[in-house]
Chain A
Amino acid sequence: MAAKILRTLLRTKPTNLMMKRFESTEKRVVTFDPFGNKPQKNKKSYLEVIKMFEGRDIRRRGHVEFIYAALSKMREFGVQKDLEVYKALIDVLPKGKFIPTNIFQAEFMHYPKQQQCAVDLLEQMEDNGVIPDSEVEQMLLNIFGRRGIPLRKFWRMLYWMPKFKNLSPWYLPSELPNDTLELAKLAIQRITSVDPGTAVDVWQTEEIEASLDKTWIVSAQSEIQKVLLEEQPPEEPLVIKGPFDVYLRDQVVTYFTLLGKTRQEVEDDKDPDDVSNIEKPPGIPGYLGSTKLPSVKCTVHEQDDGTIVAVCATGTSSRDSLLSWIRLLEKNGNQVLSKIPVIFTLTAPPSDIATQETQIATDEKSSVNQ
């Protein structure tokens, strides 16, 4: 018998032995679900369950299984972004027991299952963008000691997570507003940030008597865009394009653009290597610049597919609300819109438009006479 055991041991490679140990533990994890019977799923009840688990048994038997179960239920309770909850979960682990006391323990992953559990917990925090704080560090220190794997994970998180958090050039508040109007304002501000002179206005369609949809419109237009709109040729129609999506974290806002014709490209057939006649200023003191304006493409609003003269998001994204938008634009300092026809090219209109109109309007163009 002893010889048999010895043979098996010799045949197995040491690494396999380690893996086997992990495998066996993984397989034997039994999900224990104390969360299922809670009628109200919120932070308070979630914390209550954790408290109950802590109070039930002085040895806290099965705490690893409990933490895994709790992690999987977080989204259900809507607490996946709450640092306090994560702290309460970490607090379930016993203090002092897992700290290695000698060099071998420290080197060969003392209490691997528990350490892996804490790492998984931290991973879930990372996935949800929850930045831990120094209290978490203290707790992990008390549980796993300085040399624990969770601590190393924690320190890396503290280095990288703030960087990723501030990576986007468009600042968003840590909690997005629930109101769609506020969201729309944020979205429109973001997409119009190319021109710092943009003014974002909120209008109500009630101002236009003929409107069917009673909703709000967030419209953005800068002074430059007003000028570009004024200079549009009156015979060429403007085009409303959309809906386009802009993402604010996990929220989507749809917006529309009003496109006009772009002025011609700068024609530059000069030889870039010929410096024999470089342009020089006239040199009259006090005289700078020129007496004429450039009549070529030179602003950021002039893109290849057209000049963006205004941007909006409406409460319903319906065609009627967009029509109201055009009328409101006309009312607010763009008189030229009364003369120029506007074409709607809404490629995939949202379903609510179909209910308001009798036909389903996909990929169609219809001209609206102002």
Chain B
Amino acid sequence: MNLARRICTIRHPTVSRKFVRNLRISVVNYESAQATQPQVKEEKFDFEDLKVIERTERRKPKIKPFMKDVFVSVFNKELLAFPEVLNKEESENLDQRIAALDRVFSDPEKSRDDRKTALKRTLMYAAPVSLTNNGLAMNVTEGIRYLEVISSDLTLGQEVSDHWVGLEALRRGLEVDQYQQIVDDLITGDRNISLCIKERVAERIAQADFRTTAELDGQGIWRITGEKVCQKADGYMLVLSSIEAGRLKAFLVHPGVSGVTHSGNFVSFLRTPATPLSVISEEALAQTLSLSRLYAATLCRVGLQRALRACLEYIQPRAFSGKPLSELSTIRATIGDALLDLYASESSEYFTAGLMDGYEEPDAELEMAMCRNFMANHGLSSMLRLLAIPALEKELECKQILDDMRNLAARGDSLDGINMFIALNGIHHAGKMMAEEIKQIRNPLFHPTFIFKKVLANRKQEKDDPKLNLFLIEYLHPTLKQPSEQLEYCVLRMRYACETLMSRHGVNVGTAFTELNRLAEAATEILAMTAVLARASRSYCIGLRNAELEMKMAACFVDVSKDKVRKLIKEIDDGEYLNLDRFRVSFGKRYLENSSDFVEKPTARTFW
């Protein structure tokens, strides 16, 4: 992100000037590194061209990855001060735009075309593009705010969020002159960028998982062949495909080129000419594209909010036993649960966005994936409970809401896939730090003294009662003492869980899928707990309206989550026989192998 902004700021050919500007920005960074609070800096003017005004760089220097460190029970306490990214002026601009959008999007009378016009008018299609290219140079926090409003029309929400991610990838991936050539066409809003990454699952054993390939033809043009999951194929398409030696590269397919056919949810390419995103590396591409996960979380959250509103409309005019239906405490509790989920998800999204916007070279892939999984997972179950309230009345509306949510939860990639990504990244990070220790644990007879020490050191962990030595409460409002200790407990258990997993499976830990799933879920809960506590503490300290409710919500949420994490890590510690994984897996295997139910009916007999 930071690199991108630098490129935007400096659009001058000569190296010497670039050097000077680079230096200048690093000086700015140096200053901001000293500051504990975000500072409002003067806008920078390029005196050669007065029209060139860029957003100021206010990010703090790079920090260690937050959630990855949590896997080894290292907690960056600075982050418990909820990130504040926007300054007064930016915040006002943002509110104005949001108000303008909201007028159109909250009005059910307006058609989709009206909404599109509003989006164009507020420059939403150009939002992530730099100011010099007639964009808004939007950061992630603003993106989420905009998306919350836009995604009240879900189709538009998905379209815009994909477009934003696509724009960002193009800006970082294309050569500067290529980018300048097409950027004006991209931001008009008529032809959006859609992401074509996912493919069908292989139907034959002889098919690779990822089959789209790109080759250079005789004239030096890249040509793509393959099939992708994509709902819309009338604009630009960002296609991921493999090139020689199994490497991956993204390509931009322009609208109206040859060899593109679209049917249903699939689009297929046959020797389609495409522009390669040659500047960006595979890792950077992954980071840029994973922003779509964060946006997916926002979309899911708005979906849940819609369900909540539908419930409200249903409950308010109805009565039960001569009293309003809304007085039933079961209904109130269900709604309360949904609100907790919404609160936690919203907190973690803005928290993650704060990480992205507040620090240089952010490594927040894991956090974004966690936001997405948290909301998709909790959102679906919470929505099912909510929609059980209207039961079979309001059938159509409920069906639509549920279907949208299911689509969103499965969009991009599956829950399990993301869980694996989270857990393996965490374990990878933990493995680097704990390699020596694990080696000794796995070869106990070579290291008797170490094992003796380890047994002593782990005795509290084995009793499920780690010594709380992080003192998180020092960074939160004092009334949050108990929740902060619960969070501390969870964080401290993570290292033990990683240690258990790695010492049990060694380098093959990547194949212990069910246990990794638990680890990922536990880590996801920890992110949500951190975000919720930080947010509630901030709200209460600065005295926001209803902040005391927020404190209660935070305490409730953390209490529930702590139990979940405790259980998950206990199960990891227990191993596959005690947590019954072994058996669950074998039942599934049996069913898949027999392709039928293997249990006899309860009326069956063996003798008469």
Contacts and interface: CB of A to CB of B under 8 A. Distances in A.
B425 to A, nearest CB: 5
B607 A223 contact: no
Interface of B is mostly: helix
Contacts of A227: 204-206
Given A275-B435, A278-B510, A283-B290, A290 B206 contact: no
Contacts of B207: 293
Interface string B212-254: 0000000000000000010000000000101000101000000
Interface stretch (B88-96, B487-495, B557-565, B590-598): B590-598
Interface size class of chain B, counting residues whose CB lies under 8 Å from the partner chain: 35 or more
B273 to A, nearest CB: 21
B602 to A, nearest CB: 15
Given A134-B607, A162-B607, A283-B286, A278 B413 contact: no
A165 B600 CA distance: 14
Interface string B409-425: 00011000100110011
A286 interface: yes
Interface residues of A, number: 42
A284 B240 contact: yes
A270 interface: yes
A59 B293 CA distance: 90
A281 B417 CA distance: 10
B432 A276 contact: yes
B427 A288 contact: no
Interface in B495-547: 502, 506-510
B290 A285 contact: yes
A22 B425 CA distance: 78
A134 B413 CA distance: 57
Given A158-B607, A193-B593, A271-B507, A286 B435 contact: no
Interface in A280-316: 280-293, 299
Contact of A278 (B285, B428, B607): B428
Contacts of A291: 208-211, 242, 246, 248
Contact of A275 (B211, B282, B285, B431): B431
Contacts, number: 139
Contact of B606 (A165, A196, A274): A165
A282 B287 CA distance: 10
A271 B442 CA distance: 11
A193 B195 CA distance: 42
Interface string B429-446: 001101100110011000
B608 interface: yes
B286 A284 contact: yes
A43 B184 CA distance: 94
A178 B439 CA distance: 62
Interface in B248-289: 248, 282-283, 285-287, 289
A139 interface: no
Contacts of B595: 196
A131 B593 CA distance: 30
B292 interface: yes
Interface in A131-145: 131-135
A285 B413 CA distance: 6
Interface string A61-102: 000000000000000000000000000000000000000000
Interface string A257-280: 000000000000011111111111
B439 A278 contact: no
Interface in B451-471: none
Nearest to B247: A291
Contact of A272 (B229, B431, B432, B506): B506
A292 B593 CA distance: 26
A224 B442 CA distance: 38
A281 B420 contact: yes
Nearest to B593: A196
Contacts of A162: 606-607
A35 B485 CA distance: 88
A284 B606 contact: no
Contacts of A282: 248, 282-283, 286
Interface in A106-156: 131-135
B85 interface: no
Interface string B187-203: 00000000101100010
A297 B319 CA distance: 66
A187 B589 CA distance: 22
B79 to A, nearest CB: 22
A286 B412 contact: yes
A134 B431 CA distance: 64
A280 B424 contact: yes
B290 A284 contact: yes
Contacts of B593: 193, 196
Contact of A292 (B205, B208, B432, B506): B208
Contacts of B205: 223-224, 227, 299
Contacts of B365: 283
A273 B240 contact: no
A278 B424 contact: yes
A273 B607 contact: no
B467 to A, nearest CB: 25
B574 to A, nearest CB: 21
Contact of B607 (A132, A284, A293): A132
Contacts of B421: 280-281, 283
B507 A275 contact: yes
A202 B386 CA distance: 54
Contacts of B369: 283
Nearest to B372: A285
Contacts of A281: 420-421, 424-425
Given A162-B606, A277-B432, A284 B197 contact: yes
Interface in B300-318: none
Interface in B162-206: 195, 197-198, 202, 204-206
Interface in A296-338: 299
Given A284-B248, A288-B413, A274 B607 contact: no
A284 B432 contact: no
B442 A285 contact: no
Given A285-B197, A288-B209, A133 B248 contact: no
Given A196-B592, A278-B424, A287-B240, A273 B209 contact: no
A275 B509 contact: yes
Given A274-B439, A281-B420, A281-B424, A287 B248 contact: yes
A298 B29 CA distance: 53
B437 to A, nearest CB: 9
A206 to B, nearest CB: 32
Interface of B: 195, 197-198, 202, 204-211, 229, 240, 242, 246, 248, 282-283, 285-287, 289-290, 292-293, 365, 369, 412-413, 417, 420-421, 424-425, 427-428, 431-432, 434-435, 438-439, 442-443, 502, 506-510, 592-595, 606-608
Given A277-B428, A280-B425, 4 more contacts: A162-B606, A271-B507, A278-B509, A291-B208
Nearest first, the 4 closest Cβ-Cβ pairs linking A and B are: A289-B209, A276-B435, A162-B606, A286-B197
Interface of A: 131-135, 158, 161-162, 165-166, 193, 196, 223-224, 227, 230-231, 270-293, 299
6 contacts: A274-B439, A277-B432, A284-B290, A285-B412, A289-B210, A291-B209
